[in-house]
């Protein structure tokens, strides 16, 4: 038991749910977390630089599909959740959770500018007894090498005057089974007191908390998880290319292999990596490893294979059109699903954008259907989503399933006489000489 009054006071406020929680960054990660804290009875303020988002929250409207309208508006109506752009209000928070973006620069180096700006705002009003937690995915060392010195620059000491931890966010947008509440939360503090406070906070909100010995371990956990996915997707993408050459159905191979009850986990090929995590996070790790003179060969190789997948999809489109003696140039190609994954509208790093770009360079006339993405900007032009039935009525020369949203009518697709390139095995169990699987 600590004799530090800053620590004791904080633990007590968390235990009694009197801690006021500020969540900075109200996107895919921050909003579900803020709503969950509010649901558990905490008083929550959501901070964002985007006035639209804070306005929507205050109006009780959810703009993130995984956050239910009812839960959000209940929390707002009960006065337990509000959105604000006034960063000065961070002064009155007991806990501050930072969930801002961590993208890559054009050079593929980490872009910590959002984290730095958020931490500057926290540092400007830092008070004794506050707990600051970084949730944004980042390289090992960010919390103790970047965040801690910024917060200590005004004379307070981490783990004594204020508390600092890293806890990676593992939320999987669109996942019906796992959400903020039932995904175990990994927590590592800059010291024992910080770790204890952060673990207590999450224990009040999520089902399972896993404490690790440091912020660096917690940071590395998240990068291992996402690098594991990137590398295995690279392996299975390579296998797909190999199976095509050998005239073996890679999907059938994976389905049979996954019947092994141990030692195998299925990964699936596709048109390329998408989203804000898998294509980006391994680069955070390899960038940091290079500072230690270490080259991450698996990461580089998987990156090379995965980033070549859109080219491969276009080759399959060329192959499909070739069977009816048509070139890509001048053909009407319709993309089915453009979001980076099933049943979400998130376009970040979506491989469909690369497929569009490559097809356009080869002279294809393009259109798309995606109920989650009403518009997209491509080559300086805005494309509007067309509903799939109308798109099929217009008889495109070829349709490419880039994202297998549940709501698409795949039977109608197969009964149309369009050539179909299926990058997701959405047409499994359906046979037709017009189907070209990845
Ligand atoms: N989206 C996911 O599935 C996912 C899953 C796990 C981890 N992550 C990680 O979580 C972090 C956040 O990702 P996201 O998907 O929620 O991003 P997002 O873009 O959906 O949301 C980030 C929010 O932060 C706000 N913001 C940016 N700078 C700010 C500042 N200085 N002050 C206040 N608000 C600011 C933005 O306006 C935006 O609303 C990233 O590090 C990401 O890698 C994301």
Q: What is the 8-class DSSP label of residue 97?
A: E
277 has catalytic annotation: yes
Closest residue to atom 33 of ligand 1, CA basis: 48
Task: Report the pLDDT averaged over residues 66-71.
Answer: 92
Instruction: Please report how many Cα atoms fall inside a 13 Å half-sphere around the Cα of residue 52, on the Cβ side.
Output: 3
Residues constituting the chain: 438
User: Does ligand 1 come within 6 angstroms of the Cβ of 27?
Assistant: yes
What is the C-alpha to C-alpha distance for residues 375 and 158, in angstroms, rounded to an integer? 46
Closest CA to 67 of 43, 37, 35: 35
Residue of 36, 51, 147, 169 with the most ligand 1 atoms within 8 Å of its CB, for mutation = 169
The predicted structure's pLDDT at residue 357: 95
Query: Confidence band (pLDDT; 50, 70, 90) for 106?
Result: confident
- Does 277 sit in the ligand 1 pocket, CB within 6 Å? yes
Q: Distance (Å, rounded) from C-alpha 218 to C-alpha 325?
A: 55
pLDDT at position 429 is 87
101 CB under 6 A from ligand 1?
A: yes
In ligand 1, which atom is closest to the CA atom of 25?
A: 24
Helix (H) or strand (E) holding 115: helix 113-124
189 in ligand 1 pocket by Cβ < 6 Å?
Answer: no
* Residue 367 alpha carbon to ligand 1 centre in Å: 30
Work out the mean pLDDT of the chain and round it to a whole number. Answer: 95
pLDDT (0 to 100) of residue 175: 86
Asked if residue 54 has its Cβ within 6 Å of ligand 1, the reply is no
Q: Whose CA is nearest to atom 24 of ligand 1?
A: 25
E-assigned strand segments in 10-120:
20-24, 43-47, 81-84, 95-98
User: From the alpha carbon of 100, which atom of ligand 1 is closest?
Assistant: 24
| pLDDT tens digits along 186-243 | 999 999 999 999 999 999 999 999 999 999 999 999 999 999 999 999 999 999 999 9
Span from the CA of 354 to the centroid of ligand 1 (angstroms): 23
Pocket lining: 47 vs ligand 1, CB cutoff 6 Å: yes
Nearest CA to ligand 1 atom 11: 136
pLDDT of res. 2: 63
Residue 172 CA: nearest ligand 1 atom is 3
Least confident of 24-33, 54-63, 170-179: 170-179
Centre of ligand 1 to C-alpha 347, Å, is: 14
Residue 259 reports pLDDT greater than 70: yes
Amino acid 173: pLDDT:
80
Cβ–ligand 1 distance for 183 under 6 Å, the answer no
For residue 101, report the distance from its CA to the centre of ligand 1, in Å: 4
Instruction: State whether the beta carbon of 413 lies less than 6 angstroms from ligand 1.
Output: no
**What is the reported pLDDT for 239?**
98
For 411-434, what is each residue's pLDDT tens digit? Answer: 999 999 899 999 999 999 898 999
pLDDT band at 65 (very low <50, low <70, confident <90, very high): confident
By most ligand atoms within 8 Å of CB, the mutation choice from 46, 47, 101 for ligand 1 is 101
Over residues 122-147, the mean pLDDT reads 98
Whole-angstrom Cα distance, residue 424 to residue 421?
9
Q: Which helix (H) or strand (E) holds 376?
A: strand 375-378
Residue 379: the pLDDT is 78
pLDDT (tens digit, 9 = 90+) per residue, 1-56? 568 999 999 999 999 999 999 999 999 999 999 999 999 999 999 999 999 999 99
Indicate if ligand 1 lies below 6 Å from the C-beta of 161.
Answer: no
Quick check: CB of 66 below 6 Å from ligand 1? no
Report the separation in Å between the CA atom of 157 and the middle of ligand 1, taken as the mean of its atom positions: 27
Separation of CA 234 and ligand 1 centre (Å): 26
- Crossing angle for the helix pair 51-58 and 69-77, nearest 10 degrees? 80
Q: How far is the CA of 61 from the centre of ligand 1 (A)?
A: 19
Phi, then psi, of 421 in degrees rounded to 5: -100, 120
pLDDT in tens, 378-401: 878 899 999 999 999 999 999 999
Asked if the model's pLDDT at residue 282 lies above 70, the reply is: yes
CA–centroid distance, residue 255 to ligand 1 (Å): 35
Which pLDDT does position 378 carry in this prediction? 80
Whether the CB of 51 sits within 6 Å of ligand 1 = no
By the 8 A CB rule, do 18 and 92 touch? no
CA of 20 relative to ligand 1 center, distance in Å: 21
Report pLDDT for 291: 95
Catalytic residue, from 99, 243, 277, 398: name it.
277
- According to the model, what pLDDT value does residue 152 have? 98
Instruction: Locate the ligand 1 atom nearest the alpha carbon of residue 280 and give its number.
Output: 43
Long-range own/partner contacts, residues 111-114 (CB < 8 A, 24 or more apart): 112/138, 112/142, 112/146, 114/25
């Amino acid at each position: 038991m600590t004799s530090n009054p800053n620590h004791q006071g904080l633990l007590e406020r968390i235990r009694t749910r009197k801690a006021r929680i500020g969540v900075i960054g109200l996107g895919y990660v921050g909003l579900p977390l803020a709503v969950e804290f509010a649901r558990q009875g905490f008083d929550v303020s959501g901070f964002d630089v985007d006035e639209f988002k804070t306005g929507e929250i205050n109006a009780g409207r959810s703009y993130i599909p995984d956050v239910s309208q009812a839960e959000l508006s209940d929390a707002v109506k009960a006065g337990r959740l509000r959105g604000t752009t006034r960063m000065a209000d961070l002064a009155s928070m007991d806990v501050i959770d930072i969930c801002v973006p961590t993208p890559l620069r054009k050079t593929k180096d980490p872009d910590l500018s959002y984290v730095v700006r958020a931490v500057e705002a926290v540092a400007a009003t830092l008070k004794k007894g506050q707990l600051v937690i970084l949730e944004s995915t980042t390289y090992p060392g960010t919390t103790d090498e970047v965040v801690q010195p910024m917060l200590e620059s005004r004379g307070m000491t981490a783990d004594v005057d204020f508390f600092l931890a890293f806890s990676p966010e593992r939320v999987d947008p669109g996942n019906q089974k796992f959400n903020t509440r039932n995904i175990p939360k990994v927590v590592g503090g800059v010291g024992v007191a910080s770790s204890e406070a952060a673990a207590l906070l999450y224990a009040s909100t999520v089902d399972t908390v896993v404490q690790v010995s440091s912020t660096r371990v917690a940071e590395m956990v998240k990068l291992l998880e996402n690098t594991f996915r990137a590398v295995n997707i690279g392996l299975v993408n390579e296998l797909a290319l190999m199976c095509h050459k050998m005239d073996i159905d890679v999907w059938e191979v994976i389905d049979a292999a996954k019947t092994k009850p141990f030692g195998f986990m299925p990964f699936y090929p596709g048109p390329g990596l998408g989203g804000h995590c898998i294509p980006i996070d391994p680069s955070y790790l390899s960038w940091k490893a290079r500072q230690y003179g270490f080259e991450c060969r698996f990461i580089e190789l998987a990156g090379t294979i995965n980033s070549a997948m859109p080219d491969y999809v276009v080759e399959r489109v060329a192959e499909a059109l070739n069977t009816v003696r048509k070139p890509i140039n001048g053909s009407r190609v319709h993309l089915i699903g453009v979001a980076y994954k099933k049943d979400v509208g998130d376009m970040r790093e979506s491989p469909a954008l690369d497929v569009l770009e490559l097809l356009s360079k080869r002279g294809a006339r393009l259109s798309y259907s995606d109920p989650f993405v009403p518009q997209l900007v491509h080559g300086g032009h805005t494309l509007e989503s067309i509903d799939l039935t109308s798109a099929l009525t217009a008889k495109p020369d070829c349709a490419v399933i880039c994202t297998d949203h549940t709501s698409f009518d795949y039977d109608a697709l197969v009964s149309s006489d369009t050539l179909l390139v299926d990058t997701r095995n959405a047409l499994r169990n359906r046979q037709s000489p017009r189907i070209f699987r990845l």
